[in-house]
Amino acid sequence: MDEDVVKKYIEAGRIARIVRDEAVKLIEAGRRLIDVCEYVENRTRELGAAPAFPCNISVNEIAAHYSPLVGDESTIPENAVVKLDIGVHVDGYIADTAVTVSLDDKWTPLLEAVEEALSRAIELVKPGVKFAEVGKAIENAITSRGFKPITNLGGHSLARYTIHAGESIPNAYDVLARGRFSVGKAYAIEPFGTNGAGLVYEGELITIYALVRTSLRRRLDPRTRRVLEAIKERFKTLPFSERWLVDVEQDVDVLRKSLRKLARMGYLVQYPVLIEKGRGIVAQFEHTVVITSSGEVIVTTR
């Protein structure tokens, strides 16, 4: 990882931190979810970077992957627990960060448990450390406060224009987690905790897509072809929202049909909304770390 790449990660992290800290102040009962997310995405662009994925704003038992659709009028409920997951990239180099805000003091212990888990995990990160050790630290921090880690969610390696680069960092001890932290790589560490079952399942709603194949030679109608070409040009392999394509296809119904068609044909992957299996409240905190050639660990988002 050369010096220019490290600088791009650090700049992405700097912008992510600013946007995250500003957006937290918008979390209040009655505010539209779409207004928070559009603030995050537009502010990221104003500061000279681009969103690495659509802003996720997941409430209560929804753990992840909720990003408002076109015309979404959903608002933040009273006494809600709100996860805000933000990705920023500079020239494809990604900083991924998340924070949870509780509008009810009842859930403060849960938030404290998950935030402590993240701190303990980051303290362990250095070249050669096993992912399993980090998972164990996360699990111990959360269970010691009487909550459960969500074991089928976890952190992940990052690569240029790739939000999930193939390596997974568990949120609980897993003897099968063979990976180790390596020099020249970036990682997102993201504990999730809950008072529920400690597992998530995929809901029916899809709000996020990403391009996975560009080489398919299948027959497409002109409007769907235009949507696909815009996806390739604008997002490469990064996740995106239908909200970012309404200038390409103004008819939202047609746009959604095109996206579903592209997913069925193998061009796109879909990210279903993830829901806590026991309908428990979920908290999430996340930072990105970069391990440089000198072995130094840089936390890019704090």
pLDDT of 266: 92
pLDDT of 87 higher than 90: yes
Q: Is 65 annotated as a binding residue?
A: yes
Does residue 104 have an active-site annotation?
A: no
Q: pTM for the complete prediction?
A: 0.95
- As a whole number, mean pLDDT of residues 23-30 equals 98
Q: Which residues contact 95 (CB under 8 A, 6 or more apart)?
A: 9, 12, 13, 15, 16, 52, 87, 88, 89, 288, 300, 301
Q: Which of 61, 85, 139, 249 is catalytic?
A: 85
- As a whole number, mean pLDDT of residues 100-105 equals 98
Q: Which of 41, 96, 139, 242 is catalytic?
A: 96
Q: Is 287 annotated as a binding residue?
A: no
Task: Provide, rounded to the nearest whole percent, the portion of the chain with pLDDT above 70.
Answer: 100
Task: Provide, rounded to the nearest whole percent, the portion of the chain with pLDDT above 90.
Answer: 93
Q: Is 89 annotated as a binding residue?
A: no
Does residue 190 have an active-site annotation?
A: yes
Cβ-in-10-Å burial (0-12, 13-18, 19+) of 127 comes to middle
What is the maximum span of the chain, computed from C-alpha positions, in angstroms? 57
pLDDT of 122 higher than 90: yes
- As a whole number, mean pLDDT of residues 27-41 equals 98
> CA 131 to CA 137: how far, in whole Å?
10
Does residue 85 have an active-site annotation?
A: yes
Domains defined along the chain, listed by start: 3-202+274-299 (3.90.230.10), 206-273 (1.10.10.10)
3-state secondary structure of 216: coil
pLDDT of 250 higher than 90: yes
> CA 298 to CA 289: how far, in whole Å?
5
**What are the strands of the beta sheet with 154-158, ordered from one edge?**
168-170, 154-158, 185-189, 287-291, 297-299
Per residue in 64-83, pLDDT (tens digit) is 999 999 999 999 999 999 99
- pLDDT grade for 302, boundaries at 50, 70 and 90: confident
> For residue 79, is it left (φ>0), alpha (ψ between -120 and 50) or beta?
left
pLDDT of 218: 78
> CA 250 to CA 299: how far, in whole Å?
40
pLDDT of 1 higher than 90: no
pLDDT of 213: 80
Q: Which of 115, 190, 242, 276 is catalytic?
A: 190
Q: Is 96 annotated as a binding residue?
A: yes
The chain-wide mean pLDDT, for the chain, equals 96
For the record, the structure tokens of 26 come out as 């918008």
Q: Which of 115, 116, 156, 276 is catalytic?
A: 156
Q: Is 123 annotated as a binding residue?
A: no
- As a whole number, mean pLDDT of residues 223-252 equals 96
Does residue 287 have an active-site annotation?
A: no
pLDDT of 181: 96
pLDDT of 63: 98
